[in-house]
Structure 1
Amino acid sequence: MDATTAANLARPPQIGLVALFLKFLRFGLLAFGGPVAQIAMIRQALVEDERWIDRARFNRLLAVLQILPGPEAHELCVHLGMLARGRVGGLLAGLGFMLPGFALMLVAGWLYVSLIAGVAAWTGALLGVQIAVLAIILRAVVRIGEHAIEDRSLAAIAAASLIATLLGVAFWIPLVAAGLAYAAAGRRALIALVLVGAATAALLLGGGGNTNAPPVASAQALTIGALFVAGLKGGLLTFGGAYTAIPYVRADTVGRGWISDAAFLDGVAIAGVLPAPLVIFATFVGYISGGLGGALAITAGMFLPAFAFSMVWFERLEAVVEAPALHRVLAGVAAAVVGIIAGTFVQLSAATFARLPQVPLGVLLFAIALALAWRLKGGWVTPAIVAVGAIAGWALLS
């Protein structure tokens, strides 16, 4: 059978809406191990076993989704649901995939507020978890950077974005400047760094938003709308993986005094062990900040782009992403995101280590967790590192 014949035979079966929802709900219940494991599971079931789509088309689809912001495994489910039953099918497939993680994170948030937060017996274990998550974030920065930073100009953009983040420049300035500059620079790529530096200097001279967490005294009033926007911002800017959502959600929640850095890191840790896209950490942040309404609002904002890109615009995306200029814009944005995440890692580290009763022990635990994150691979690694951090923190930092 040639490739054309195989492609013609590959199509979703006749399936009811309820059956479609339950199929993707099952995928959601088994979605452990991060996007690589999640995509592999979906590929095996719907490409290799059930032939919903042929391999070549699946690979092209995945390439497009990896360029776009948002959790690609979730976007993949939405698109495959659309292939089966149109936009209603896409909506049900996406909801089915995300609901198990969402429900489990709500339970985790309730348990955290009710039984864990503020209890002295948990202090050391939580510090250990937060240190372990810092190591996981640093490893993620390096991994994302290995893919996103392809030349010295992009490395310079990432460095400039790191500095801008630490100086408190509003996140959108390095993103916009980097994307436009790298697209326009062509071979004269040093222009990119000049434009990023100029934009940064202009904002610093004129004042602007600060992505660092402000003192508690400057806390802003919490609203459901603001939590929705915080999630939407994270959902629109997740280039290169879910870790890229961390700076933006943190800036709009920790930065407004609605949740502490410690609780924020605990949410990232819990998300890493649930069957869900890692961006489900936003649900925890929303629940701690604003209860059930806050959790619903920030989650809706976070996942809205993942639904919208496939359900509204996907027919045009494959043509759009072929434009070389857009490739350069996205490459510049991705490099800037690497620098922003690195800057956020520095800020989170400073806040975490400032709370440690014994800094040398914290440094030792961080080094061990980083070594494990660096050398080990597999869906079990993140939960294992979090568990090691909790046990070591309870033993050494309590």
Structure 2
Amino acid sequence: MAADPTTPGPSMTLPHVEKGSEGFQKQLEAAVQPETKETSTDTPSEDDDQGLHDNSNVPQLSYPKLFWFFFYNFGCFAWGGPVAQIALIKDRLVTKDKWITLARFQRVFSVYQILPGPEAAELCMFFGCLSAGRIGGIVAGMAFILPGFVLMLVASYVYTLAGFENKYFNASFRALQPIVAAMILRATHKIAEHSVRRHDTKKIDPFLVIAAVCTAINCALRLNIFISLGLYGIIYMFVARRLWVPAAVLFVLQYVGYAIYAVFRGVPSPVSLALGVARTPSLINLFVLGLVAGSLSFGGAYTAIPFVQVEAVLLGAWLPQSVFIDGIAIGNILPAPLVIFATFVGFQGAYLENGSVGNAFAGAVVITLGMFFPCFLFTIAGHELLEKLVRNQFLASFFDGLCGSVIGVIAMIAVEILKASVVGTLNKGKEMTLDEAAAVTAQVGPAAVLYVLALAVLYKFNNKFTALFLVIAGAVAGQFLFVDL
């Protein structure tokens, strides 16, 4: 699975940028206009080459200075999620220090919209490459990620020490779970605001809405999410070229194929969404889990969430759902890309496997390496090629359809986490005594109220510290609502 730059060119939409940040978009548009007015008629404007002109004015920094620059200026202040992170990078390196022009920044940013992985980390790698080559890109990326990674390691260890048996600790996290569900639903709405709009008219594209809705339906039918993502990318390529017949045929065939499968094999099980890459939380399995999730995170962390959940919680069953949601809650408040929740998953999974703290730290490291490896690889090795590919109309429409389909995936994970966080996990599938039934009822009511209140706050306030405030308030509220349950 960012700030809201304007559309950088005619062939590319910005599918999952923020996501509701109109103020930042106006600021960005205002910044473009003076550059456009001052452009000489004797030279190609940056808009003419869509920001691909070599207009870099980047200082050449040594590796230690480069590391400290990105660590201090961005890594330590990456609060508030991708929106705030990308705005911070743009304001410092483009507006203030003028490493590259705004048009160039917009074009570069559009490339990372079609790549898996967190865009803020990828932008840091890009600027690091400009300053000190490919090694500089690695240095800058690591400097940006390191503070959040270290904090997540510490949080994972503290959680292990106090979270499994301590009723006060558990009460706070029980209250945080419906708040996390509200965060994910709000993020779904923000992403959808841009992902289902045409990049030329800014109007809602009904075909992208259909892709999102049908993908959500497919998830409910337990059709593998990767089939839906690829299928609607192809269908939208046909729609964009007004090839209605092949688009309609593909659309109908998906449900014909599903019906045939259901008749002969039955309705797919919930674990049909999984690839089975992490049936146990061994170190090699955790690395592969991170690698596959990182390779598929086209919508940022929110697309990686359902894949990690189905592998670790449903198929592997080595991580409780409540612990998984707690990891997402912690990831929302740290100065890091949200995919850092994978560090928590790796730590807890490896620890629960054999109770070794050393193995837990190793699990956290290997899954994090796997999660970030794809974005490092694409950014460091192939940026120039990707800039050319993103201008291709054929590929652009495929990614438009894919990103519209991603909305359906995120919406379904929001529903699943809402259900798990409000209802809880008490005695599922078992007969309950009257006391146990009363305990479940006592949890559902307050959890539902917390969910509604958190959602109201998220819609009312758009400050980058809103999530941090909600987490702190939820942790305190849990002491009053759930400590005796």
Normalising by the residue count of structure 2, what TM-score does the alignment of the two structures yield? 0.76
Pairing 1:275–2:275 present: no
Pairing 1:261–2:321 present: yes
Aligned with residue 83 of structure 1, among 115, 125, 130:
130
Q: Give 1:69's aligned residue.
A: 116
CA gap 1:292/1:250 in 2 versus in 1, 3 angstroms: same
Q: Give 2:444's aligned residue.
A: 359
Aligned partners of 1:69 and 1:236 also within 8 Å: yes
CA gap 1:144/1:65 in 2 versus in 1, 3 angstroms: same
Distance 1:170 1:78 in 2: 32
Q: Give 2:374's aligned residue.
A: 305
CA gap 1:311/1:79 in 2 versus in 1, 3 angstroms: same
Residue identity opposite 2:458 in structure 1: A
Distance 1:391 1:192 in 2: 51
Distance 1:247 1:111 in 2: 25
Residue identity opposite 1:282 in structure 2: A
User: Could you list the per-position Cα deviations for residues 95-120 of structure 1 after superposition, in whole angstroms to 9, with x for gaps in the alignment?
Assistant: 11101110110000000001222322
User: Could you list the per-position Cα deviations for residues 338-385 of structure 1 after superposition, in whole angstroms to 9, with x for gaps in the alignment?
Assistant: 111211222222222332533222211111011111111011011112
Deviates more, 1:182-191 or 1:367-376: 182-191
Aligned partners of 1:24 and 1:93 also within 8 Å: yes
CA apart distance, 1:65: 1.4
Equivalent positions of 1:95-106 (< 5 A) are 95-106=142-153
Aligned partners of 1:271 and 1:280 also within 8 Å: yes
Structure 2 unaligned runs (5+)? 1-34, 47-52, 198-204, 351-359, 425-439
Aligned with residue 405 of structure 2, among 308, 313, 336:
336
Distance 2:229 2:261 in 1: 13
Pairing 1:116–2:163 present: yes
Pairing 1:20–2:79 present: no
Aligned partners of 2:319 and 2:349 also within 8 Å: yes
Aligned with residue 373 of structure 1, among 442, 458, 461:
458
Distance 2:260 2:196 in 1: 25
CA gap 1:365/1:220 in 2 versus in 1, 3 angstroms: same
Aligned partners of 2:121 and 2:337 also within 8 Å: yes
Distance 1:338 1:196 in 2: 19
CA gap 1:310/1:201 in 2 versus in 1, 3 angstroms: farther
Distance 2:272 2:466 in 1: 30
Distance 2:180 2:206 in 1: 29
Higher relative contact order (CA 8 A, sep 6+): 1
Distance 1:200 1:149 in 2: 26
Aligned partners of 2:421 and 2:447 also within 8 Å: no
Q: Give 1:386's aligned residue.
A: 471
Distance 2:373 2:400 in 1: 23
Aligned partners of 2:172 and 2:479 also within 8 Å: yes
Q: Give 1:58's aligned residue.
A: 105
> Secondary structure at the residue paired with 2:137?
helix
Aligned partners of 1:181 and 1:196 also within 8 Å: no
Distance 1:40 1:277 in 2: 14
Residue identity opposite 1:365 in structure 2: L
Q: Give 2:305's aligned residue.
A: 246
Q: Give 2:482's aligned residue.
A: 397
CA apart distance, 1:397: 2.7
Aligned partners of 1:212 and 1:347 also within 8 Å: no
Distance 1:199 1:232 in 2: 30
> Secondary structure at the residue paired with 2:326?
helix
Structure with the higher fraction of residues in helix conformation:
1
> Secondary structure at the residue paired with 2:333?
coil
CA gap 1:160/1:200 in 2 versus in 1, 3 angstroms: farther
Distance 2:239 2:273 in 1: 34
Distance 1:199 1:292 in 2: 44
CA gap 1:132/1:69 in 2 versus in 1, 3 angstroms: same
Pairing 1:236–2:295 present: yes
* Identity within the alignment, %: 39
Distance 1:199 1:90 in 2: 45
User: Could you list the per-position Cα deviations for residues 117-153 of structure 1 after superposition, in whole angstroms to 9, with x for gaps in the alignment?
Assistant: 2322223211110110000001111111222223222
Q: Give 2:344's aligned residue.
A: 284
Normalising by the residue count of structure 1, what TM-score does the alignment of the two structures yield? 0.91
CA gap 1:9/1:229 in 2 versus in 1, 3 angstroms: closer
Residue identity opposite 1:251 in structure 2: V
> Secondary structure at the residue paired with 2:396?
helix
CA apart distance, 1:327: 1.8
Distance 1:8 1:328 in 2: 27
CA apart distance, 1:198: 4.0
Aligned partners of 1:138 and 1:342 also within 8 Å: yes
Structure 1 unaligned runs (5+)? none
Aligned with residue 280 of structure 2, among 221, 225, 229:
221
Aligned partners of 2:225 and 2:273 also within 8 Å: no
